[in-house]
Amino acid sequence: MIKRRRFLNVATSSLGGFSMAYLLGSCNQQSQKDVANSSSSLAIKTKVLRMGYQSAGDLVRNRQVLEKRLDPLGIKVEWLQFAQGPQLMEGMAARRVDIGSVGETPPIFAQVAGSDIVYVVGTQRNAGTGRSSVIAVPPESPLTKFEEIKGQEVYFQKGSASHYFMLRALQSIGLTIKDIKIKSMATIEARAAFLEGKIPVWMTGDPHYAIAEKMGRIRVLRDSVGLDSPGGYYIADRKFAQENPGVLKILIEELHTLDKWAEVNRDEVKKLMITQQKLDEDVAERVMSRRTFAGRRGLSPALIAEQQRVADLFFKEGVIPKKINISDALLPSDLYAAITPPEIMV
């Protein structure tokens, strides 16, 4: 586990305060011209790709699709596990991770904190997306509906996708983030306390949700269906992305192929969950019943606008201390065109 440093001062600070020391610590950026020049050759300079993944598991890692493409090129893939997206982004800020998969929120907090990152590719969303992320209470809780959440202590990881989920869910009932008491804790750390009835309101997702379901220790107040998240992203360290556009292209191609494979081989995916994540078969079945493999989405103007809307909402609600431009964390459009399959650039 990477030692917590200044990134989590942003993600876990009070809603009105951030570590100014970290905000001043952004890295110098290479010129856009240098990045554009690299797109024509799709250079690969690295001999090691350090991939970050979260404790909930990673199908790319389990299927070893990157290893199959990169081993013949003499590139070793190293996998580093993190509790959630904010911790992964902290690892990238410390230059210990080259690329990682996170939700829509962690890169916004990372950009506010001065991390030198770029968006690589997004994730498609569909109408059913969001059933695996929930705001829940123990079965014995006196709360019977989400509207009763005002004034409650709510446990989730600040700076994670749960932060946006909660913000939007509160908006839907006319409340703001200031109407609850946020207790920041990684999902995997909070699970045991919740199962024992020590946490009043918990924001969680699969497989933790499915484990609590099996134990009969969770009652859902609402899920995140319809809360208009643009979806998750693969994020890269800017310097790595500039020097290795060929690796980004291979990554996106393999993700695109893997999504299509997973949607038609759901039983195989379930078996991987059981063996790789050590899940009981019925828990894996619950997870798969809520999981979709909608595919990747290129960094098109439409997706960029959706992510900017999320960042603007965090600023408007006083969650982040300054307005940011998502465009500052992008590669040139011609490079995206060179590394992204045309069919997902919509």
pLDDT tens readout for residues 239-284: 999 999 999 999 999 999 999 999 999 999 999 999 999 999 999 9
Percent of residues, the chain, with pLDDT higher than 70: 87
Tell me the residue length of the chain.
346
Beta strands in the chain (DSSP E): 48-54, 76-82, 99-102, 117-123, 133-137, 153-156, 181-184, 201-205, 219-223, 233-237, 296-297
Strand pairing report for 233-237 and 99-102: antiparallel
Average pLDDT of the segment spanning 210-224: 96
Return the sign of the alpha-carbon dihedral for residues 177, 183, 189, 192: negative
* Nearest to 240, CA basis, from 117, 110, 330, 65: 117
Q: What is the distance of C-alpha 215 from the center of its chain?
A: 27
Residue 42, sorted as left (phi over 0), alpha (psi -120 to 50) or beta, turns out to be left
Q: Give yes or no for residue 117 having a pLDDT over 80.
A: yes
Tokens, residue 187: 């999902």
Helix axes 266-276 and 245-264, enclosed angle (nearest 10):
110
Tokens, residue 321: 């201390």
In this predicted model, which residue has the larger pLDDT, 14 or 291?
291
316 CB contacts (<8 Å, ≥6 apart)? none
Helix axes 161-171 and 301-316, enclosed angle (nearest 10):
70
Q: What pLDDT score was predicted for residue 294?
A: 81
Q: What pLDDT score was predicted for residue 55?
A: 81
Burial per residue of 61-88, b for 16 or more beta-carbon CB atoms within 10 angstroms, e otherwise = bbbebbbebbeeeebebebbbbbbbbbb
Average pLDDT of the segment spanning 169-180: 96
Q: What is the pTM of this model?
A: 0.87
Q: How many other C-beta atoms lie within 10 A of the C-beta of residue 323? A: 12
Cβ atoms of 272 and 319 closer than 8 Å: no
35-79 pLDDT, tens digit per residue, is 333 333 699 999 999 999 998 778 999 999 999 999 999 999 999
Q: What pLDDT score was predicted for residue 127?
A: 56
Q: Over the chain, what is the mean pLDDT?
A: 88
Question: At 293, is the pLDDT very low, low, confident or very high (cuts 50, 70, 90)?
Answer: confident
Q: What pLDDT score was predicted for residue 219?
A: 97
Residue in this structure with the two tokens 């970290």, named with its chain if needed: 22
Cβ atoms of 260 and 124 closer than 8 Å: no
